[in-house]
Amino acid sequence: MTPAAKLEEFKAVLTQILEDAQAANETPDFAGAIPRNMLEHNTRRVALDPLLEALGWSFRDRTEEARVAGDTTLFIDYLGIDQETRSAELIFEAKAWNASWLAGIGDAYRGRPAAELVAAAVDHLNNGAPKLAPITDEWIKRIQQLRDYVVAIEAKGGAVVKRAVIGCARWIVVFKDPEAAFITKRIKAEDVLALELGEMVERSDEIFGLLSIDSLKVAPRTPIHPNEIALHIENPADIRRVFRALFVNRANTTDEFSPQPSIYVSPWLIVERSDGALLEIRPHEQPEILPTSMNFLEMHLPEVSARSDKMLSELSAAYRVSLPGPSPIGEFPNFETDLGLTPIRRSTTKAGNFLIATGEDSHYLRPGPLVECTFHSHEACRQAEADDEPQPVNLRSYERRSYFVSGEPHHCAHRSINVSKKGIPCPLAVFEEKLCCRACTLQDWCWSPERLRRAPCGGGSGAD
């Protein structure tokens, strides 16, 4: 079924669900009884269960009354689960049919759009819930309850749900980014979809796009092999971009006479799915050690490139079609890390492990610098009164984060470059502080052509 056909089908089903729910609410429990608004249980049975089914969340993919143990045990009405990883992806908090709709309090909030009221209420809670709230206490409690669920799941499972919802079929409020709303606390009104009954069918495509199980399928939490890609992205048209990458393991050698680090590298790939999820693709082969000899380095780089090409071919073979070639590093969406947005991610479980997105290149190293320069030598920098440290790096050093030594073409000893790397900041500095920028394939990610021309070594990017 095409995406357009799926949306039309969902719209028709949603229309019927809401009509059936309205009729059920107006039907008395028995002959002669007065019709009463449905309680939460019946609202779930008549409207919300079918809604979640229509969104693809079958009984196998959702848990009802899920328990999250903390200081107190929380019971979540619906919890959508990724079957492969068992990670929580969706919270849906159900309310009774006649549950009140949003209303602003005071001149500052009365009459404002519902999404703005929700955002203001979240800010109110995140700022310690001062006395004057922007909406009713009932809604403050609902949002606070949802926040408690999101925070508790993150604390127990280590991941934040992708969507959080409060709904009763007469209305629905969707938090598009629960992490921003409740963890990092930087919500905006556009992060909220708040619809009443009359708008829900009209904007059913937005509901489906935000809450369907297909839209919330996350990338696998662990790396996969190239031939497994079709298990996670069924349609190759859903591959937005492919990037080459390099997995790096950097360890301190145990040889007391050789203090340099041992660096092992493996070519990886990163696939960006159409929903923005990033899938990490690892090879079957064992990693290679980064050579210390410049002659062997010239052999090492083409070998890594050939292995990267092989992985690209395996990726295409999984679909039996040609996939787009690797995209440049400037198009990589970057990893969110404690150092900000960067193309390198350090492992949180094993020190010395890094994944580097390299774009079209298969390695973070070039065979040599793109321009000629004398500042690879500490002595040359000292004579120019631009040495970055009092003592040169004469031995490869783990502590000083320098695999290359003074005088080698991949080493930089210039003070201005060292300062610039801290200001940019250099993504590789977490394990390699003195690498010459012109010998690094991430050069154009860090440096603009204008800044490069003002650098001590001069010249452009090499592509000018």
Q: What pLDDT digit, counting tens, does each position of 138-185 carry?
A: 999 999 999 999 998 888 766 788 899 999 989 999 999 999 999 989
Beta strands in 237-332 (DSSP E): 239-252, 261-273, 278-281, 288-289
406 near 332, Cβ under 8 Å? no
Q: What is the pLDDT of residue 160?
A: 84
Q: What is the pLDDT of residue 266?
A: 97
- What pTM was estimated for this model as a whole? 0.63
Count of C-beta atoms within a 10 Å radius of residue 136 = 17
Q: How far apart, in whole angstroms, are the C-alpha atoms of residue 310 and residue 139? A: 55
Q: How far apart, in whole angstroms, are the C-alpha atoms of residue 377 and residue 411? A: 8
**Residue 302 is encoded by which pair of tokens?**
């083409």
**Residue 25 is encoded by which pair of tokens?**
């609410």
Output the CA–CA distances (angstroms, integers) from residue 60 to 80, 84, 89, 372, in the order listed: 9, 12, 14, 62
The residues that bridge with 342 in the sheet, in sequence order, are 335
Q: pLDDT tens, 326-351?
A: 999 999 988 877 777 899 999 877 88
For residue 294, the number of C-alpha atoms closer than 13 Å in the C-beta half-sphere is: 12
Q: What is the pLDDT of residue 4?
A: 80
DSSP string of 435-454, one letter each residue:
B-GGGBTTHHHH--HHHHHT
Q: What is the pLDDT of residue 464?
A: 36
Q: What is the pLDDT of residue 284?
A: 92
Q: Residue 7 burial (CB < 10 Å; 0-12/13-18/19+)?
A: middle
Q: What is the pLDDT of residue 158?
A: 66
**Residue 36 is encoded by which pair of tokens?**
């009463």
Tell me which residues of the chain have a pLDDT lower than 50: 259, 462-464
Tell me which long-range contacts 120-127 makes (C-beta under 8 A, separation of at least 24).
Answer: 122/147, 122/181, 122/182, 122/187, 123/187, 126/182, 126/185, 126/187
Q: How far apart, in whole angstroms, are the C-alpha atoms of residue 314 and residue 267? A: 13
